[in-house]
Amino acid sequence: MSDVLTALIKIFVALGWFLVLTLYLTWVERKESAVLQDRIGANRASIFGLRLFGLFQPFADAIKMIFKEDFVPAFADKVLHTLAPFVSFFFVAVTIAAMPFGDDIVVGGKTVGLQVFDPSVGLLYVLAMLSLGIYGIILSGWASRNRFALLGSARGAAQLISYEVALGLSLIGLIMVFPSLRMSDIVRFQGGTILGFLPRWGVFLQPLGFALFFVAALAETKRVPFDLPEGESEIIGFFAEYGGLKWGLFMMTDFMEIIVVSALLATLFFGGWQVPWLAADGFHWPWGGHWALARWLVVVLQVLAFQAKVVFFCWLQILIRWTYPRLRYDQLMDLGWKVLIPLGLLNILATGLVMSL
């Protein structure tokens, strides 16, 4: 009974964290883009005159979308048209289950992992769910029976399948170094240091793998500079025939993918919840010296470290989205097949050579 209750609480907290962060990422996107373009950004939404830098804007947006008409075009396939945004949303929402938020904690004599579930194939599970998200895009374009929507979903399918290969290849080197697919194990392997001072993070062991994964993951989020499926200035994209809350679900999926990619980057390459030089009993400074900390404080620091890393990568992705122009379609395919995949194979070869020495 208590196991079920623990699992339910974990699901509730993880999903709540995910959705609230998604909601506020829309605010961060608007504000960050405004700040780096010397603007102010959305700051008018208020409750009784209280503006708070537009922090209520996400709620205003949500209310607006909820009250819009739930419109299905007469020529569209009703069932699939309705199903598509939910498919898209579902497969991103479930990936958060495998993200380790912190080290195991002991509550009432029982060990509880700060992770909804921790299968031995956690990494494959996340990648599989991210790939299944393509079905939402294909379905939406196909069920809309609109040429531009279909064009967008065809582009989306081609792009995601191409970059799926590069994404998988970029992670093989990492799996060779940390011989596990279990997310919590991957994070645990990243504790400690190399050469006595450098945290043993994936980015220091697999710098090329990190760069390749980052580019491929950016392409997976389908945002500028890889927003060919949407391409709002040329074709409206796979959600051309959507409006109101269903369109909102597609947008939310986009933002949730940013968070998932950030969480993956943090977990795989930046030590997840590991804080540099922080072990279970406190800090062990590289210059010698020990700073003991209470166990609960260590756990809180680690959870906060994971949050900080996720937020940083969300910030970085939004910065990239507002800096670079969109790639042309052939450039996109060239980058995927002629640059990322050969470099991924090279990375595997180099990792193998170094490990066999």
Residues lying near another protein in the complex (CB under 8 A) are found at: 32, 34-40, 319-320, 322-324
Q: In the complex with another protein, which residue's Cβ is closer, 31 or 81?
A: 31
**Shortest gap between Cβ of 171 and another protein (angstroms)?**
22
Q: In the complex with another protein, which residue's Cβ is closer, 3 or 38?
A: 38
First to last CA, the chain: 51
- The three-state secondary structure class of 238 is coil
Q: Give CA–CA dist 118/126, Å, rounded.
A: 11
**Shortest gap between Cβ of 224 and another protein (angstroms)?**
13
Report yes or no: 248 and 65 within 8 Å, Cβ to Cβ: yes
Q: Give CA–CA dist 328/334, Å, rounded.
A: 10
- How deeply is 102 buried, as exposed, middle or buried, from its count of CB atoms within 10 A (0-12, 13-18, 19+)? buried
Q: Give CA–CA dist 165/278, Å, rounded.
A: 35
Q: How many helices (H) and strands (E) does the chain have?
A: 13, 7
Q: Give CA–CA dist 200/270, Å, rounded.
A: 9
**Shortest gap between Cβ of 38 and another protein (angstroms)?**
5
**Shortest gap between Cβ of 57 and another protein (angstroms)?**
15
**Shortest gap between Cβ of 32 and another protein (angstroms)?**
7
**Shortest gap between Cβ of 34 and another protein (angstroms)?**
7
Q: In the complex with another protein, which residue's Cβ is closer, 17 or 322?
A: 322
**Shortest gap between Cβ of 277 and another protein (angstroms)?**
27
SS (H, E, C) 65-107: HHCCCCCCCCCCCHHHHHHHHHHHHHHHHHHHHHCCCEEEEEE
Q: In the complex with another protein, which residue's Cβ is closer, 137 or 216?
A: 216
- What tokens were used for 129? 């769910």
Q: In the complex with another protein, which residue's Cβ is closer, 26 or 146?
A: 26
Q: In the complex with another protein, which residue's Cβ is closer, 38 or 69?
A: 38
Give the pairing type, strands 278-279 and 198-199.
unpaired
Q: In the complex with another protein, which residue's Cβ is closer, 2 or 37?
A: 37
